Every structure is written in C-alpha cells, then in structure tokens.
C-alpha cells in the first residue's frame, strides 16, 4: 500500500477518534510537536500513556479488592490517570476519571467499582484505536525508509 494511502487511512482513523470524542485538541498539540527530528514522538508518548495506565489499573484492581478500600490511595491513582489522559488528549478517559472522583468523594465502594469499570471500558476502547494508529504509523515510517 502506498504511503499516501496509508497516510489517508491514518488521517481518517484519527478523525474518527475526534468525532467519537476519544481525543481532544490536546492530541493535536502532541501531533504538532512531532517532526522529522523526532518522527516517533507521538508513538512514544502514546506508548508511555498506555504503560502508565496499565500500571495504574493493576494498582487500582489490587486496592479495590481489599476488604477496606483506601479511598485516598484510589483518588491518587485516578488523579494520575486523569492527568496523563489530559496530557495526551484522551478525552473520554479523562471524563470517566472525573466521574470516578465524584464516587470517591462519596466514599461509595459500589459506585467506585462501577466507575472503575467505566474508566477501563473507555481506556480499552481508546487503546484499541491507538494500537491501530501506531501500527499505521509504523507502516508509514517503514515505507518511507524503503523509499529513501
């Protein structure tokens, strides 16, 4: 598949992610920072975001499975996830974290479990699309290297 077609496919995917509300203008800021001197910038930031989110979910699952939930600890992790979601433009994940924090304010264990599931669903949906995006970026870069 030619580079132009791959670029068109990538642009279409990213556009659909904006239309779905998965991404916001912060993601455009990330993209604007990528250039020829750092062609993998977006891939690196997205990968770090996903790695961080996976680590946070592991910790949240551990904390939420305890007989007594440490709500302050949960809040700290959700705050981290909200911040990293904001920095990459993961709009729906960020909004789900905001909702989660409302349940935390109430010290509502059941609400927190539901909120955690919602955050995970939003994240997994986004991650699937981001993985497709990264694969397209890799194919474009490999094609461009072959051309040179």
pLDDT tens sequence across 41-71: 999 999 999 999 999 999 999 999 999 889 9
Number of domains forming the structure of the chain: 1
The pTM for the full model equals 0.91
Residue 83 and residue 98: Cα distance in Å, rounded? 11
Burial tier of 37 (Cβ tally within 10 Å: 0-12, 13-18, 19+):
exposed
At 35 the pLDDT is: 86
Domain, as residue range, for 109: 3-147
Residue 77 belongs to domain with CATH number: 1.20.120.160
Determine phi and psi for 78, rounding to 5 degrees: -65, -35
**What end-to-end distance do the CA atoms of the chain give, in Å?**
16
Give per-residue pLDDT as tens, 64-110.
999 988 999 999 999 999 999 999 999 999 999 999 999 899 988 89
CA 60/CA 130 separation, integer angstroms: 22
In DSSP notation, 24-87 reads: -HHHHHHHHH-BTTBTTHHHHHHHHHHHHHHHHHHHHHHHHTSSS--HHHHHHHHHHHHHHHHH
Residue 56 near residue 68 (C-beta atoms within 8 A): no
């Amino acid at each position: 598949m030619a580079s132009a077609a791959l670029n068109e496919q990538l642009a279409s995917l990213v556009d659909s992610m904006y239309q779905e509300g998965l991404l916001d203008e912060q993601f455009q800021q990330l993209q604007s920072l990528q250039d020829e001197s750092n062609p993998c910038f977006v891939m690196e930031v997205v990968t770090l975001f996903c790695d961080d989110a996976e680590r946070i979910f592991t910790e949240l699952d551990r904390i939420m499975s305890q007989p007594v939930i440490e709500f302050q600890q949960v809040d700290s992790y959700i705050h981290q996830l909200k911040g990293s979601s904001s920095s990459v433009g993961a709009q729906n994940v960020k909004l789900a974290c905001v909702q989660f924090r409302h349940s935390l304010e109430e010290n509502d264990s059941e609400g927190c479990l539901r909120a955690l599931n919602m955050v995970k669903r939003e994240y997994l949906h986004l991650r699937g699309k981001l993985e497709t995006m990264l694969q397209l970026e890799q194919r474009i870069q490999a094609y461009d290297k072959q051309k040179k």
